[in-house]
Structure 1
Amino acid sequence: MMLKYLLTVLGFATLISASAFTFNLKAQEKACYYIFTTKPNTNVACYFAVQSGGDFDVDYEVRSPRGDVLQSEVKSRQGDWVFNADVVGEYEFCFSNGMSTYHDKVVDFEIKFADENDDDFRANLPGQPNAKPIAHVESMQNTIDNIDKQLDGLSRTLQYYKTRNNRNHDTVKSTESRIYYFSIFEVILMVGMAFLQITIVQLFFKGSRKQLV
């Protein structure tokens, strides 16, 4: 089964050979990716998560070859879904950072055919001429299916912890920056208060001396 991805950013298109990747979405920018299905009723699995930048959110939209909106959400931090591509053709996945004026976003994006592994496995099974399917072959198939599901679950868990770690790291950096500038403001305020107190005391003593004279 052929899998094709195209990236369109500001009018430029680039071929993407991997199904899972990380890209940078600049402020006020829109990035679109495409997948081409060769047969109807294909299950397509998608996952994305904003790793850093601003409030960790983007707008996304999924369109069919006919232009119908299949999925859409604004200010979403992450998404994980499977949909049925019932029509053969090119499906569009667009991410927008239009709500941000100066924050860039780093986004993890993964897309694949949900039943691709099962189809490939069944296609590569050895032929059994003049014989019924061997029990241990079916058992092996079930074992591989279970391992594949467990690996997929482990991959999603690792992606979840990666996202949480990146967001926590970004939050810590933001907190450190706020503490730093607050400390500078506090020092300036203390110096200003000391200068004001000295000025008031000097004015008080000047007034006292004038009364004595």
Structure 2
Amino acid sequence: MLFSFVASLLCLFASVWGSALTFTLGAQETSCFYIFTTKPRTSISYYFAVQSGGAFDVDYTIKNPRDEVIVSEDKQRQGDFVFTADLVGEYEFCFANDMSTFAEKVVDFEIKFESEEGMDFKADMPDQPNSKPIAHVESMQSTVDSIDSQLDGLLRTLQYYKTRNNRNQATVKSTESRIYYFSIFEVLLMVGMAALQITIVQLFFKGSRKQLV
């Protein structure tokens, strides 16, 4: 009973809804995602990071329900921003990979926004003669908000280290590939120089024999 009661409180107190995903953005491709707000001045936060591909950068644009551009930035590797959605309606988040001719990008993307249920929960509570239960509920709500904030910070840190790890692995693979091809080029160059020296020596001795005859 206690567990189910706490679980129901966690669900009721959740004032932020979110959606996270990882998608592949092909070369010369644009992908758009949408979020619908039901009340004005909703706080919307979004996070993205390019995990792999090319120079780890994309172009992105955010438009409001009137199709007006709110944010537009080019060649960004990652971002963690918050803006206020003044209008009610559908907001568009678009990512473009137009700068790449063949390299596809893997992008982590997350949107969060305040929900109305969590904001209105306190007003819907029934009146009680004793104020202690309400005080306990408010104390639990404060604790849940604190835990949610700490978990969100931990998630951001894990996403940051995940991005750094992917980029470092890509750098290591690129360096290994360059060393491999440079070694092959060096071996071919040495073989070519040896063959050239042998040819020059053979021509030199052939010329000496003709003079002696």
Alignment of 1:113-128 (within 5 A): 113=113, 115-116=114-115, 120=118, 123=121, 127-128=126-127
Counterparts of 1:127 and 1:49, CA distance in 2:
44
Q: Deviations over 1:115-134 (max 9, x none)?
A: 33x95276278544234464
C-alpha distance in 2, partners of 1:175/1:165? 15
1:189–1:201 distance in 2 versus 1, CA, 3 Å: same
Per-residue CA deviation, residues 169-193 of structure 1 (Å, 9 max, x unaligned), is 1111111111111111111111000
The Cα offsets for residues 38-70 of structure 1, whole Å up to 9 and x where unpaired, read as: 111111110000000000000000000011111
> 2:160 aligned with 1:160, yes or no?
yes
Percent identity at matched positions?
A: 70
> Which position in structure 2 is the counterpart of 1:41?
41
Distance (Å, rounded) in 2 between the aligned partners of 1:67 and 1:36: 14
Q: Which amino acid aligns with 1:209?
A: R
How many angstroms does 1:154 deviate by?
0.0
Once residues 199 and 37 of structure 1 are traced to their aligned partners in structure 2, the CA distance between those partners, rounded to angstroms, is: 78
Once the two structures are TM-superposed, the CA of residue 138 in structure 1 deviates from its matched residue by 2.4
TM-score, with structure 1 as normaliser:
0.85
What is the CA distance between 1:144 and its match in structure 2?
A: 1.3
Partner of 1:194: 194
| 1:1-213 map, 5 Å | 19-113=19-113, 115-116=114-115, 120=118, 123=121, 127-132=126-131, 134-213=134-213
Shift of the 121–64 alpha-carbon distance from structure 1 to 2, 3 Å rule, reads closer
In 1, distance between residues paired with 2:102 and 2:51?
A: 16
Give the TM-score taking structure 2 as reference length: 0.85
Output the amino acid matched with 1:58. V
Distance (whole Å) between structure 2 residues aligned to residue 23 and residue 177 of structure 1: 26
SS of structure 2 residue aligned to 1:93: strand
Q: Which letter maps to 2:97?
A: N
Structure 1 stretches lacking a partner, 5+ long: 1-17
Q: Distance in 2 between matches of 1:131 and 1:42?
A: 34
Give the total of aligned pairs: 194
Give the secondary structure class of the aligned counterpart of 1:99.
coil
Higher relative contact order (CA 8 A, sep 6+): 2
Which one has the bigger helix percentage? 2
Partners of 1:22 and 1:91 lie apart in 2 by 19
Q: Which residue of 2 aligns with 1:6?
A: none
